[in-house]
Amino acid sequence: MRTPEEMFDLLLKTAREDERILAVLLNGSRSNPEAPQDIYQDYDIVYFVKDLAPFWNNKAWLEEHFGKVLLMQTPEANTLIPPNGNGDFIFLAIFEDGVRIDLTITSRPYIDNGEPAVILLDKTGMLSHIRPDPGFWHVKKPTEDQFFDCCNEFWWCLNNVAKGLVRCETVYVMDMLNKYVRNMLNTMAEWYIGVDTDFSVSPGKAGKYFGKYLDNNLYSMYLSTYSPADGGKTSALRMMDLFSFLAHTVAGALDFRYCEEEEQGLRKYFSMTLDENPYRLLEYIKELFSNALGENLVGIYLYGSLASGCFNWQKSDIDFIAVTHREPEQSIKEQIILGLLELERIAPPKGIEMSIVPKESLKKVLNPAPYFLHYSKAHSDAYRKDLPGNAAKLCGLDYDLPGHYNMIKAAGKAILGEPIENVFGKVAPNIKGELK
């Protein structure tokens, strides 16, 4: 990798020898004396030119002067991500030796906003007006309105996270958490650092210096918010706790009012949506089976503690029978099992137990009774290890099913499809041999 001295010599030599280049400016972290220095810093360079046209998307010119490009992006030529459209052209280039140059070529006058910058060359005096502000990147003290808006955005966006969690929409949850919710968490963390340092430091882009300015406990709390193992629920709860602490601290230091009602309102909604609510789980079971089985589905029939009114979240499971006209195809069985495995994340600790059975077998119940597919939490590991094999194997005859039919007939509930009396024939109270 070329040294900084070699790179600056090359950048300046190129500009000095080309009369079309009027001035050279260095910005970014290499122009900021407070930024940590290392070999991976980009060279953020601006070439001010008379005419932009000869340089526009001219990779040959770039490689002629700075070396073979290993990887490059040119935002102004990008059709997917809209460019700035300000008339500049930018080369973002990594060269074969690992050096990266972010080279902006512009014919516009430089507008000084105080951003740290170093004049490397000025042939015409066009940059003489620059007055860098040493505190440009320091975190800024918020107004009370800004503080309120940050809190409101944080707590409001979490309602979408709650809905995504109960829908098992993990990708959506992660997008909401790490784009919208985390943005507000980072903003509050920056203000917390500002309060702690009298707003005299920069937390860095995307919080990259949080580890430097947050104490070890807070930084560990922050890192723990990256916890996708349960689909984002733990991450969301940890974000809530950390944000609440940071916001209370900032509010106290700046004499702002913190809106407790918003936090408590969201926490209540989160609990309503996610915690110990078997009926929401039933809605997703109905959706899963309806989508997978379509017209083949006769109905879904609940039995056990939830149907009889003595359900206990910690001690009970969700028991149901799905009845079909004919045996589902192997791919449909696998689709259903995958859906149930996902739903286990929001199920009670003892999980879900279900069987898919043929409607024809319910007219004259035999013991053992036939079934097309069985699932319980006890089988979840086996399904995860070999979904096709176990989806094909877990079918046949079951001695327990007639007892379950008895429970459905006595105290079950049809949560989808035909009424119980239209599907389940009369089941004898003593289940031995053939039942009629």
Domain span at residue 176? 144-274
Band of the pLDDT at 433, cuts 50, 70, 90?
Answer: very low
Q: pLDDT tens digits, residue range 258-293?
A: 999 999 999 999 988 877 778 878 988 999 999 999
* 136 located within any domain: no
* 253 located within any domain: yes
Residue 270 shares a structural domain with residue 282? no
Residue 29 shares a structural domain with residue 148? no
Would you state the structure tokens that stand for residue 233, as one six-digit string? 């629920």
Q: pLDDT tens digits, residue range 201-260?
A: 999 999 999 999 999 999 999 999 997 667 788 899 999 999 999 999 999 999 999 999
Q: How many distinct structural domains can be found in the chain?
A: 3
* 163 located within any domain: yes
* 286 located within any domain: yes
Residue % of the chain over a pLDDT of 70:
97
Residue 286 shares a structural domain with residue 405? yes
Q: The CATH number of the domain where 384 resides is what? A: 3.30.460.10
pLDDT at 429 over 80: no
Last residue of a domain, one of 122, 152, 168: 122
The predicted structure's pLDDT at residue 428: 52
Residue 71 shares a structural domain with residue 202? no
**8 A C-beta contact, residue 394 and residue 374:** yes
Residue 436 burial (C-beta neighbours within 10 Å; 0-12, 13-18, 19+): exposed
Residue 193 shares a structural domain with residue 231? yes
Residue 344 shares a structural domain with residue 257? no
Last residue of a domain, one of 222, 257, 274: 274
> In the predicted model, what is the mean pLDDT of residues 158-184?
91
Residue 54 shares a structural domain with residue 112? yes
- The overall average pLDDT reported for the chain is 92
Residue % of the chain over a pLDDT of 90:
80
* 135 located within any domain: no
Residue 49 shares a structural domain with residue 181? no
